[in-house]
Amino acid sequence: MRTATFRIFRGDAQGGAFQDYTTQVADGMVVLDAVLQIQAESAHDLAARWNCKAGRCGSCSADINGLPKLMCMARLSDLNLDEPVTVEPMKAFARLKDLVTDVSWNFQVKKKIRKFKPRPPDAPDGTWRIAPEDIERVQEFRKCIECFLCQDVCHVLRDHHLHDRFIGPRFLLYTAALEMHPLDTEDRLEELRQALGIGLCNITKCCTRVCPEEIAITDNAIIPLKERVVDDHYDPLVKLWRKFRGRSG
């Protein structure tokens, strides 16, 4: 059986350094397997978040060889194991310890976005009728596992640290899922323009490229939202027209 070396960041908010750990690797292993193996063998207090180990919960985000990925979906067979594999925490958030970052800002941001507000039920039994073709777009958005990798690569957050003026791709997607929900009647366009900072996104599509769920964040969510915001702000007729036609599309 062969071995591989993992160069893992150890440290906290005050500072830290990379440390090399060599461990055995087997067929089919992912980076998370190696990290957990190292934790059990030689670094019992190595901090890392994980849960489902199947790309479904979005807990184990990290930068692997400089690329933001889920550790549980990063196959060792896709990496060059002749060189040490670098594993470090996400960069858009403050470091807590080792691979763990402070992502609490994301949870605060979500709370600021006005919640789902459905139209009155369509049927006397309190249920709605929604055509199968009307759910596809929003279902795509709702696949999001909140791994925050899109936030991690967004230069507005990662490089410019505008966390107080911009909600980031994850929450633009979240707002798009609400705005385009076939039942929703709330209007979030003005706050998107102002408090939520949609104008700061200049559609470089970095978020779309790293999304493990392969959601077309920029094309399907952010650009249509931007169009709505612009129409809403500069063209009251379009606003009226959309109100009149209902909210779908």
Partner 1 sequence: MAQYEAHEHDVLVIGAGGAGLRAAIEASSAKASVGLVCKSLLGKAHTVMAEGGIAAALANVDERDNWKVHFADTMRGGQYMNHWRMAELHAKEAPERVKELEAWGALFDRTKDGRILQRNFGGHKYPRLAHVGDRTGLEMIRTLQDHGIHQGLEVYMEFTVTALLKDGDRLVGAFAYDREKGLFHVFKARAIVLATGGIGRAYEITSNSWEYTGDGLTLAYDAGAELMDMEFVQFHPTGMIWPPSVQGILVTEGVRGEGGVLLNNLGKRFMFDDIPENYRAQTADNEEEGWRYTQGDKNARRPPELLTRDHVARCILREVREGRGSPHGGVFLDISWIKRKLPNAEEHIKKKLPSMYHQFLKLADIDITKAPMEVGPTTHYMMGGIRVDPDSQMSNVPGLFAAGECAAGLHGANRLGGNSLSDLLVFGQRAGKFAAQFAKETKVGQIRADQIDDAARRALEPFDRGAPQGGEGAYQIQHELQKMMQKLVGIVRTEKEMVQALAELEQLTQRAVQVRVEGNRAFNPGWHTALDLSSLLAVSEAVTRSALERRESRGAQFREDYPDKDDAFGKVNIVVRKEVDGTMGVRRQPLPVMAAELKQVIAEMK
Contact residues toward partner 1 (CB under 8 A) are 12, 26-30, 33, 39-40, 44-59, 73, 75, 96-98, 100, 103-104, 107, 110-111, 115-116, 118, 121, 125-132, 135, 138-139, 142-143, 145-146, 178, 181-184
CB of 8 to partner 1, least distance (A): 13
For partner 1, the closer of residues 49 and 209 by Cβ is 49
CB of 139 to partner 1, least distance (A): 6
Give the DSSP per-residue string, 184-200: B----HHHHHTTT-GGG
Phi/psi of residue 164, nearest 5 degrees: -85, -5
For partner 1, the closer of residues 135 and 203 by Cβ is 135
For partner 1, the closer of residues 135 and 240 by Cβ is 135
For partner 1, the closer of residues 143 and 160 by Cβ is 143
CB of 97 to partner 1, least distance (A): 4
For partner 1, the closer of residues 147 and 222 by Cβ is 147
CB of 228 to partner 1, least distance (A): 19
CB of 26 to partner 1, least distance (A): 6
Strands 100-101 and 95-97: antiparallel
What CA–CA distance (Å, rounded) separates 138 from 133?
10
Cα distances from 52 to residues 44, 60, 75, 77, 183, in angstroms, run 20, 9, 16, 21, 31
For partner 1, the closer of residues 89 and 197 by Cβ is 89
CB of 91 to partner 1, least distance (A): 18
Q: Reduce the DSSP state of residue 171 to 3 states and report it.
A: helix
Q: How many CB atoms neighbour CB 59 within 10 A?
A: 20
List alpha helices for the chain, DSSP H.
31-41, 104-112, 136-141, 149-153, 155-158, 168-179, 189-193, 206-210, 223-234, 236-245
Tokens for 131? 């055509």
